[in-house]
Amino acid sequence: MAGYKIAILISGRGSNMAALIQACQADGFPAEVALVLSNRPDAPGLAIAKAAGIPTEVIEHGGFENREAFDAAMTDVLAAAGVRLICMAGFMRLLSEEFCQRWRDSLINIHPSLLPAFKGLHVHERMLDAGVRIAGCTVHYVRPAMDEGPILVQAAVPIAADDTPDSLAARILQQEHRIYPLAVRLIAEGRARPAGGMVAIDNYSLPRQWLINPPLE
């Protein structure tokens, strides 16, 4: 269903953005990227988006009196672009309650942990310090509290004995690039929706390829 327009919010590198753009440009994908919006003019992801022919906008948060005013400017641009879904992809700004409410159930985020564990920043280092054996990543609907909201898709990533924060981040990122397009597909096809603090998915079959530890036969 081309015509299901999404926006991607970035602040930096934009590798998840690039994965979403690539997925959307593949034949038969049910969504298209109508806009990439950055709060930083120097975000490297902007050049990737432009090279892929995607419209980009920069709204610098520093130019606004407060968070609400910045968020309202984003809402104007996003609404004008006619987007139905907003994907945060390394967007390093907290969002106001008003923005979360305005885009409730149309706003998703990716986080490099198996939420609700390890919300916040410096996640890879904190997971290693805690000695957990399984890390992972999560795509979730956004609610006003940081890294909170109904979970759409997760992938698990085992931790190696010699992992550093960088090596672990690199392996988790590979999985991020797989689960973000899957989550967008489920929403754009109308198969996934928030329901009672969780996400209901129509015709859900255990997606074996997303599991590190498939069920025993």
Which amino acids are annotated catalytic?
Answer: 111
Instruction: Using CB under 6 A, pick the residue from 5, 40, 111, 140 that binds ligand GRF.
Output: 111
Check residue 126 for interaction with ligand GRF (CB under 6 A). Answer: no
Check residue 31 for interaction with ligand GRF (CB under 6 A). Answer: no
Give CA–CA dist 207/66, Å, rounded: 43
Give CA–CA dist 168/161, Å, rounded: 11
Check residue 136 for interaction with ligand GRF (CB under 6 A). Answer: no
Six token digits for residue 123: 């996640």
Give CA–CA dist 73/67, Å, rounded: 10
Footprint (CB under 6 A) of ligand GRF, residues 170-199: 173, 176
- Stretch binding ligand GRF (CB under 6 A), from 13-21, 53-61, 72-80, 194-202: 13-21
| Minimum distance from residue 62 beta carbon to ligand GRF (Å) | 20
Instruction: Using CB under 6 A, pick the residue from 6, 8, 9, 15 that binds ligand GRF.
Output: 15
Q: Which residues bind ligand GRF (CB under 6 A)?
A: 12-17, 89-90, 110-112, 173, 176
